């Protein structure tokens, strides 16, 4: 069973409600049909119910059992607008602003998750990452024990000698352009948690990546990673985490042994933390395109799960992201 097949099986074991703010988008409608039919999640499609039905007829999609609603017909518009006003009034949001925001399916969907009327949210087939992330950060906010929201990419590589039977977790590849040492430490701790929950790693082994291994080079960007290692050890002393180390020292046992002798992680890492977003984003794309890995992205650190799609996503991608969101919601 592949990692994503295991995630889907787990999602089916305790079915969660997932809201899709882009409910009148064709791939989303087809994905919702599959999620419902296969018992992976209970989808809610936001948008004009008549439009959604017309699309479904055109696509030959059966929406039996799937809730469709627009913000005004959902019956909770006033409650959500009042709650949104309370959450954001100290940021200058007025009651009337809150009402306008709740007319936007993205904000309405996020309020559904915030208020417990949906367990998680998936969007991004049409909107950008920032369109979803900004309201999620403002309204759902981070978990109490987390300072920041970041992302992990679950990389399923054809070379099964890498990581955990070919599975590696990369972070952060989407959210934090220039993390500080402390933020990098939080990214590492969140990625280890994602590795446990979604990949089933019993023992995440976290490598803090750099162009230096154990002081082999000196630069302020290396010092940042060294500081992040210290902070992560203080925040999560039980976590197997080491660095700074180069990519090859993290993954190749002989190189890990020669460059970072005695490290509990070097040569056997299954979670790789990149020093910034440039490195992380480029790194996952190299692994995907040249290494032919399948990759699955999730946000981590949010108090309730919301996940982003790429605008070029397929129906399969939406189903997979919804399944991962549902498993995050089980926690
Ligand atoms: C995440 C992101 C969208 C935030 O956008 P922004 O417009 O700069 O947002 P702001 O800085 O105004 O922050 C909005 C709120 O989110 C909070 N916030 C921002 N980033 C955060 C993070 N990573 N974790 C937790 N909260 C965060 C801010 O504190 C602020 O909260 P407040 O309004 O309650 O004070 C921005 O960091 C970003 O664009 N990241 C890169 C995304 C990207 O393009 N990735 C590549 C895609 S492949």
Q: Give the distance (Å) from ligand 1 centre to CA of residue 137.
A: 7
Is 134's C-beta closer than 6 angstroms to any atom of ligand 1?
A: yes
The bridge status of strand 271-273 relative to strand 205-209 is: parallel
| Domain locations in the chain as residue ranges | 3-141+303-330, 150-295
Q: What stretches of the chain show up as alpha helix (H) in DSSP? A: 3-13, 26-37, 49-59, 77-88, 95-103, 105-114, 129-135, 181-199, 220-235, 247-251, 253-259, 277-289, 315-330
3-141+303-330 is a CATH 3.40.50.720 domain: no
Q: Give the distance (Å) from ligand 1 centre to CA of residue 148.
A: 9
pLDDT tens per residue across all 331 residues of the chain: 899 999 999 999 999 999 999 999 999 999 999 999 999 999 999 999 999 999 999 999 999 999 999 988 878 999 999 999 999 999 999 999 999 999 999 999 999 999 999 999 999 999 999 999 999 999 999 999 999 999 999 999 999 999 999 999 999 999 999 999 999 999 999 999 999 999 999 999 999 999 999 999 999 999 999 999 999 999 999 999 999 999 999 999 999 999 999 999 999 999 999 999 999 999 999 999 999 999 999 999 999 999 999 999 999 999 999 999 999 999 8
Is 146's C-beta closer than 6 angstroms to any atom of ligand 1?
A: no
Note the CATH number of domain 150-295. Answer: 3.40.50.10750
Rounded CA separation 45/52 (Å):
8
Is 311's C-beta closer than 6 angstroms to any atom of ligand 1?
A: no
Q: Give the distance (Å) from ligand 1 centre to CA of residue 259.
A: 37
Evaluate whether 3-141+303-330 and 150-295 have a shared fold. Answer: yes
């Amino acid at each position: 069973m592949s990692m994503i097949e295991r995630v889907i099986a787990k999602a089916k074991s305790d079915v969660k409600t997932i809201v899709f703010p882009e409910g009148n988008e064709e791939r989303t409608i087809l994905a919702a049909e599959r999620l419902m039919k296969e018992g992976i999640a209970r989808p809610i499609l936001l948008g004009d119910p008549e439009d959604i039905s017309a699309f479904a007829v055109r696509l030959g999609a059966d929406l039996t059992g799937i809730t469709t609603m627009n913000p005004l017909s959902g019956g909770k518009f006033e409650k959500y607008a009042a709650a949104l006003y309370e959450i954001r009034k100290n940021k200058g949001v007025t009651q009337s602003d809150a009402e306008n925001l709740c007319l936007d399916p993205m904000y309405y969907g996020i309020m559904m998750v915030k208020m417990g009327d949906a367990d998680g949210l998936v969007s991004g087939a049409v909107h950008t990452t920032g369109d979803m992330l900004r309201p999620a950060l403002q309204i759902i906010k981070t978990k109490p024990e987390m300072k920041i929201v970041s992302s992990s990419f679950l990389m399923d590589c054809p070379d099964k000698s890498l990581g955990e039977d070919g599975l590696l977790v990369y972070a952060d590849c989407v959210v934090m352009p220039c993390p500080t040492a402390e933020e990098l430490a939080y990214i590492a701790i969140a990625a280890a948690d994602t590795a446990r929950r979604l990949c089933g790693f019993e023992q995440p082994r976290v490598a803090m990546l750099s162009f230096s291994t154990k002081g082999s080079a000196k630069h302020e960007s290396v010092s940042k990673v060294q500081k992040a290692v210290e902070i992560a050890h203080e925040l999560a002393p039980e976590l197997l985490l080491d660095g700074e180390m180069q990519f090859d020292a993290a993954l190749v046992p002989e190189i890990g042994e020669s460059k970072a002798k005695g490290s509990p992680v070097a040569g056997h890492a299954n979670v790789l933390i990149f020093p910034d977003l440039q490195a992380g984003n480029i790194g996952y794309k190299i692994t995907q395109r040249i290494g032919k890995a399948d990759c699955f992205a999730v946000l981590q650190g949010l108090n309730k799960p919301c996940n982003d799609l790429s605008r070029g996503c397929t129906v399969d991608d939406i189903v997979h992201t919804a399944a991962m969101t549902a498993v995050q919601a089980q926690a």
